[in-house]
Amino acid sequence: MERGIIALAAALVLCITGAATAISQGRTASAAMEAIARQPEAAKSINGSLVLSLALMEALTIYGMLVAFMLVGKI
């Protein structure tokens, strides 16, 4: 019974972090494209901020994967 709960927790961690990252990256990219459309001359600085924020969001997903792997290791 305990093994099943741990496996379920690992699956939920992966699903939630993956979905949350996908949604937040989509919103961030959309906002960046709108900002570039409004101010094309600021595209370089917007792109720099966009890449940095996308990388940080992806790092959170990797941390979620690490937690899931640690949970699977307890099975």
In a domain, 61, yes or no: yes
What pTM does this model have? 0.80
Q: What is the C-alpha separation between 62 and 75, in angstroms, rounded?
A: 20
The CATH code of the domain that includes 50 is 1.20.20.10
| pLDDT reported for residue 74 | 82
The domain of 36 spans 2-70
| pLDDT reported for residue 14 | 93
In a domain, 30, yes or no: yes
Please give the radius of gyration of the chain, using alpha carbons only, rounded to the nearest integer: 17
- Which pLDDT tens digits describe the chain residue by residue (75 residues)? 788 999 999 999 999 999 999 999 999 999 999 999 999 999 999 999 999 999 999 999 999 999 999 999 888
| pLDDT reported for residue 16 | 94
3-state secondary structure of 74: coil
Q: How many domains does the chain have?
A: 1
- List, as one string, the DSSP characters of 24-50: HHHHHHHHHHHHHHH-GGGHHHHHHHH
Buried b / exposed e over 27-64, threshold 16 CB at 10 Å, is eeeeebeebbeeeeeeeeebeeebeebbeebeeebeeb
